[in-house]
Amino acid sequence: MGTASSIQHTSKQALFNVSKAVKKIAGFSEGRRNRLPRNQPRPPRDEDSCGGNDEKYKIGNEDGVVCRTQHSHIRNATMGKVGQTMSKKASAQKLEDAVTEFIEKLGNDEKLEQAKLQLIRSPSFDVWKCKREELVSYIMLMFGDLGITNELDISYNKLKKWLVAVEQNYITDVYFHNFRHAFCVTQMMYFMIHELKLMKYMTTLQLTILLVACICHDLDHPGLNNLYQEKAHTELSVLYHNCSPLEHHHCAVAFQLLSANDLNIFGNLEQTQFDEVSHIVIQLILATDMSIHDQILDDFHQKLEEGFSFDKPEHLLALQKILIKCCDISNEVRPLETSKVWVDRLFAEFFSQADRERREGLPVEVFMQQTKVKKANDQLAFIRKIILPLFERLGRVFPDVNGRILRSLHESELFYERLSHDEIGQLLTDDVTQQNNKKHVTFRKLEIPKVVVSDCSSERAI
Ligand SMILES: Nc1nc2c(ncn2[C@@H]2O[C@H](COP(=O)(O)O)[C@@H](O)[C@H]2O)c(=O)[nH]1
Ligand SMILES: [Zn+2]
C-alpha cells in the first residue's frame, strides 16, 4: 500500500516516538505552515448550528443550560448495554431508568464524566439534545478515553482549538451536512471502536486516524452535492476535474487547518509519520464519495476472499474505508426519533438543491424533486440496497455487527416498510423546510480554499 505501510503495519506496534528527544515541533510545523498559508476568517455565524433556532431542538436558554442539558440528556439516553435483545423503545426505557438511578448517585465530576462516556458509547446518543459546545467536549472525552491525547501528547488547549476550528468550518445553514452530522459519524465510530473492540486490532494512532477522518470528512460541505458541482461547473468541479470534488475539498480544508501550528494535533509526529497519517486520512475521506461505493465494497470483498488479515496494510485500509462508510450512513442504527430527523434533513437538503437548480436552469434529479419523492420508499430502498449490505459485509470481519447493530437496522427496515405502504411519510417528523420557514438558507459562493483558524478564543470556551 505504498506510503501508508509503516502506520498500517501490524497491530499494536509502537509506531511513533513522542519523547522530548525526537520532537521537532517548531521547525516541523512551521515548515508545513509556510507551504499552506492561512486564510481569512469566515464571518461569524448567526445561529446555534442546525436546528438551533427550531423550538423542537431547543434545550433551554443559556443560563444554567449545561447542567439541565446534561441531566435531561443522560436521562434520555437509550439502549447501551442494557436490553440488547429488546426493541429500540423497550431498551431505551430500561437504560433511561438505569441512568436516572445512576445520576441520583452522582457525587463528583469523575462520575459525571463516566456517565457521559456511557452515553457516547451508545448509538442512542441524541445529538439533537446537545449544544454545539457540548459536542466538542464530547469528542474531547473520546480522545481522552482512547488514550489519544496521552499517546500523541496533545494538549487540552490544542485539541479544543482544533475542534472549535473544525466546527466553525462546517456550514451552519446546511440542513444535513453540518457539524452535527460530522459529530454523529464520529460518535458512531467511537461506539464501533468499543462495540467491535477495535482497540484489540488497531493501534492508538490507527484509531486516531479513524476519528480524525470522521470529524473532517464533510468539512465546508455547501449542501450541494457532486452532481450539482458538475452541472453548474463550479470552481470545485474545475479544480478537481469532477473527480470527487467535494471530498477533495473536505480534505483540503482539513489539512489547511492542520497546517496551523496551534491546531496541528499531529504536531508531535515525525514528518514521515505525519505524511503517512495524512495519506490514510485522505483516502478515508475520499472513500465517503458514494459514487465509488460499489468499487470500495468490491475491493473489501476481494480482501475477504483472500482471507482477511489485519497484518496486511492494504487489507486494513480496505476495512477502515468500510468502517468510515458505515459510520457515514449509520443514522438508521439510531433510535427512530433521532434518525427520522436526519431523513427529513437530508431530503430538505435535496429539495433545496433542486430549487436552486431550477433557478439556475439546470436539470434536476428525480430523487431530489419534492413532488416526486416518496420518502419512506426511498429510505427503505437505501436501507436494503446500501446500508444493510455494507454492514453485513463488515460483519464478516466482526461478527458482533450481527448483534444490536443489525437488529436496529432491521427495525428501521420494518418501520419504513410499513410506512411505505401508507406513504407518503405522513408519520415522519414535520418537514424540516416548514420547521425552518423563518430561516433563509443562503449558500455562499465557494472560494477555494477558505479556512477559519482564528476565533478559537476563550469566549467559546467549552
Ligand atoms: N436516502 C438516504 N441517503 C443517505 C442516507 N444516509 C446517507 N445517505 C446518502 O449517502 C451520502 C453519504 O455521504 P456524505 O459523506 O455526503 O454524508 C449522503 O450524501 C446521502 O446522499 C440515508 O439515511 N438515506
Ligand atoms: Zn457524511
Q: Consult the annotation and say whether 379 binds a ligand.
A: yes
pLDDT value for 45: 30
pLDDT value for 9: 64
Q: Please check the confidence at residue 399 and state whether its pLDDT lies above 50.
A: yes
Q: Please check the confidence at residue 203 and state whether its pLDDT lies above 60.
A: yes
pLDDT value for 71: 25
Q: Considering the domain 7-460, what is its CATH architecture?
A: Orthogonal Bundle (1.10)
- pLDDT, tens digit (0-9, with 9 covering 90-100), for 4-29: 457 776 443 322 222 222 222 122 22
Comparison of pLDDT for 130 and 133, the residue scoring more: 130
Whole-number Å distance, alpha carbon 151 to ligand 1 midpoint, is 33
Collect contacts of 66-70 with beta carbons under 8 A, ≥24 apart. Answer: 66/134, 69/129, 69/130, 69/131, 69/134, 70/112, 70/116, 70/134
Between 150-164, 230-244, 393-407, 412-426, the lowest mean confidence (pLDDT) is in 412-426
Q: Break the chain into its structural domains and give their ranges.
A: 7-460
- pLDDT, tens digit (0-9, with 9 covering 90-100), for 225-282: 999 999 999 999 999 999 999 999 999 999 999 999 999 999 999 999 999 999 999 9
Query: Ligand 1: which atom is nearest the Cα of residue 181?
Result: 17
**pTM of the model as a whole:** 0.77
Q: Please check the confidence at residue 338 and state whether its pLDDT lies above 60.
A: yes
Average pLDDT, the chain: 78
pLDDT value for 456: 32
Query: What ipTM goes with this model?
Result: 0.99
Q: Please check the confidence at residue 321 and state whether its pLDDT lies above 90.
A: yes
pLDDT value for 189: 98
Between 45-54, 151-160, 339-348, 445-454, the lowest mean confidence (pLDDT) is in 45-54
- Nearest ligand, CA 387: 1
Q: For residues 165 and 145, what is the distance between their CA atoms, to the nearest angstrom?
A: 22
Q: For residues 161 and 158, what is the distance between their CA atoms, to the nearest angstrom?
A: 5
If one residue of 329, 334, 352 were mutated to test the ligand 1 pocket, choosing by the most ligand atoms within 8 A of its CB, it would be 329
346 lines ligand 1 (CB under 6 A): yes
Query: Ligand 1: which atom is nearest the Cα of residue 246?
Result: 16
Nearest protein Cα to ligand 1, atom 5: 329
User: Where does 189-324 show beta strands of DSSP type E?
Assistant: none
- Nearest ligand, CA 330: 1
Collect contacts of 78-84 with beta carbons under 8 A, ≥24 apart. Answer: 78/122, 78/124, 78/126, 78/335, 79/122, 79/123, 79/124, 79/335, 79/404, 80/118, 80/121, 80/122, 80/124, 84/403, 84/404
Between 74-83, 337-346, 379-388, 422-431, the lowest mean confidence (pLDDT) is in 74-83
Q: For a pLDDT cut of 90, what percent of the chain falls above it? A: 65
pLDDT value for 77: 24
How many other C-beta atoms are found inside a 10 Å radius of the C-beta of residue 411?
Answer: 17
Q: Please check the confidence at residue 164 and state whether its pLDDT lies above 50.
A: yes
Which residues are catalytically annotated?
177
Comparison of pLDDT for 229 and 435, the residue scoring more: 229
